[in-house]
Amino acid sequence: MAFPTDDHQLIRRAMDGDEQSLDQVLRHWTPQIVSWCRRLSGPRVDPDDVFQEVVEKVITRMDTLREPAAFPGWLFQVVRSQANRQRRRAWVRKVTGWFEGQPEGPAKGASPERHADLGETSLQVMAVLDRIPDEQRDILVLCFIEDRSQAEVAELLGLPVGTVKSRIRLARSHFIREAKRVSPDLAAPPEPSDDAYGGLLWTTSTP
Amino acid sequence: MDHEHPLKTFARETTFHEEERARYDRLIRQARAPKPSPWAIPWPALSLGLAGAAIAAFFALRTPEPTPVSLAMSASAESTALTATLGEHVAVEYSGVGQASGTSQAPRIVWESGVATFSVTPGEGIDLRVRTPEGEVRVLGTIFDVERSALGTQVRVKRGKVGVTCEDGSAVEITQGQSHTCLPTTAAGQLGRARALQSASASADELLQATAAGLAAADLSADTRAELHAVRLDVFTSSASWPQALEEARAYLNTKQEARRPWALQRAAQLSALVEGCGAAQVYLAELEAAGAAESVAELRARCPSP
């Protein structure tokens, strides 16, 4: 899966503070940022909140980027850290709600209002991803959901390919275990898939 | 049946779509709006604050103390829409009449007429409710319009998801791009809706539905009953449904309302002559003549002389 733009000159100009170039970079990358926000945020977080935080970070910290080629990996880390930050905020809200004796209110709990466009299956997948450690969630999103190659994921995360491979194995077994807890339907193997990761994820999980 | 891989379903449903572009462009513009630089915070102050940071963070993340909200909203439809904020997280742009009360965390709006667009910051636990005579809208983190007119209350969602409960007991949840209309439940409300539909050249079916609902309403008064029959008389006349039109003319006359009695008598005379013959028209012609309105039915009288 290709990234939206690899125009290093444009990214360089944005890094150097050119407002118009920054606008263009943000516009080119909006689809990818939005998708990452939706996939990494979790059920209690509004992905649009994460999106706004990410955009603010890109605007204020773009000049800290070392080189244009590092932009995709840097951006992924920004989305990841902002999503985790919102996750923690949501968790604190939930806990303070308990202390105040409030039931878990609609804005504080797993909220379909925040994910109005998602069906039941996607909400279940999101619930499973929410139960998985961050580094494995990254792998699941990049490899299994976005169909990226191991080399691409390794470059994006700044890891050796061998580490990515071992994390894929860990993430896969963790996902299957948690999926069974969230929904037996979700854990059931689907029809055979052509894509390597989907097959890898499901075929060996058949009881 | 093809069974889509759950992760594929998730990938598909979380993918950005080009039609969402405008919304995200707006979020980018908001994020780019000038804000105080974090580097303007003096480092010594930060150092002093470190000791209490954990406690401060705890309180900062709690739901803020709600402040009372009170606002009379009034802007004529012809003038430019006005804007107001109800606490920190709710903004409203309106041209119409309403009243806001409650608190910043739980604003309560009574919306009487016109259009109001509410914008609620997501993730802040705001419990906004907008009430109209036709229903109530509940919302958490979204942007939506409420338009109240004689046709009823229409809710249109621009972003997020809202729950709408109509006075007739029906409840729906609508999401981005969808709308829902709560119809009036009172007889007078249905009469207003019927007249608005007439002005909008709505279909006969819609008009008959609205007037039938009005005639079935529990709070039906004699005045309203008469006017509802008058609307139905017009509808049936327009569609050349003469027997039904005659029934409505007679129903109007039976209400004993004087406001448009000569008009209804004229219609009843013409329709009864057409549907049942001159004999049936005599009673209406005689009443009109006794009331000094013989001229208005002179043509009909020529065709149906007194027995």
Distance separating alpha carbons of residues A57 and B84, to the nearest angstrom:
29
Query: In angstroms, what separates the C-alpha of B125 from chain A's closest C-alpha?
Result: 5
CATH of domain B71-182: 2.60.120.1440
Burial string for B10-32 (b: 16+ CB within 10 Å, else e) reads bbebbebeeeeeebbeebbeebe
Asked if A190's CB is within 8 angstroms of B5's CB, the reply is: yes
CATH code, domain with A160: 1.10.10.10
Distance separating alpha carbons of residues A18 and A193, to the nearest angstrom:
45
Output the pLDDT for position A110.
43
Query: In angstroms, what separates the C-alpha of B3 from chain A's closest C-alpha?
Result: 6
**How many inter-chain contacts (A to B, CB under 8 Å) are there?**
129
Report the residue of chain A nearest B58, measured CA to CA.
A92
Query: In angstroms, what separates the C-alpha of B160 from chain A's closest C-alpha?
Result: 6
Check pLDDT > 80 for residue B44.
no
Distance separating alpha carbons of residues B13 and A195, to the nearest angstrom:
18
Query: Does residue A44 share a domain with residue A91?
Result: yes
Residue labelled with tokens 């709308």: B179
* φ and ψ at residue A62, rounded to 5 degrees: -55, -35
Query: Does residue A140 share a domain with residue A101?
Result: no
For residue A181 the two structure tokens come to 């807890």
What pairing do the DSSP bridges indicate for beta strands B90-102 and B71-74?
A: antiparallel
Mention every residue, 6+ apart, whose C-beta is less than 8 A from residue B55: none
What stretches of B173-221 show up as alpha helix (H) in DSSP? 187-199, 204-216
Asked if B58's CB is within 8 angstroms of A48's CB, the reply is: no
Q: Is A148 on the interface with B (CB under 8 A)?
A: no
| Residue A37, amino acid | C
Handedness of CA A38, A40, A41, A42 (dihedral sign): positive
Per DSSP, what are the bridge partners of residue B68? B103
pLDDT tens digits for B167-183?
888 888 888 888 888 98
* Domain tally, chain A: 2
pLDDT tens digits for A111-142?
445 666 788 888 888 989 988 888 899 999 99
Q: Tell me yes or no: is domain B187-303 CATH 1.25.40.
A: yes
Portions of chain B given CATH number 1.25.40: 187-303
Portions of chain B given CATH number 2.60.120.1440: 71-182
Asked if B7's CB is within 8 angstroms of A201's CB, the reply is: yes
Query: Does residue A182 share a domain with residue A157?
Result: yes
pLDDT tens digits for B135-144?
888 876 677 8
| Residue B291, amino acid | A
> How much is the average pLDDT of A49-57?
90
pLDDT tens digits for B221-231?
988 999 999 99
B128: chain A residues, CB-CB within 8 Å = none
Query: Does residue A136 share a domain with residue A39?
Result: no
Query: Does residue A159 share a domain with residue A139?
Result: yes
Query: Does residue A96 share a domain with residue A35?
Result: yes
* Domain extent at residue A32: 1-114
Output the pLDDT for position A141.
92
Distance separating alpha carbons of residues B273 and B178, to the nearest angstrom:
50
Burial string for B237-274 (b: 16+ CB within 10 Å, else e) reads beeeebebbbbbbbbbbebebeeebbebbbbbbbbbbb
Q: Which of residues A114, A132, A150 is at a domain's end?
A: A114
Output the pLDDT for position A178.
87
Output the pLDDT for position B42.
59
Query: Does residue A95 share a domain with residue A155?
Result: no
A194 pLDDT band, cuts 50/70/90, is very low
Q: Which of residues A64, A84, A114 is at a domain's end?
A: A114
Query: B-side interface with A, Cβ within 8 Å?
Result: 2-11, 13-16, 20-21, 24-25, 27-28, 30-32, 35, 38, 58, 61-63, 122-127, 140-142, 160-161, 175-176
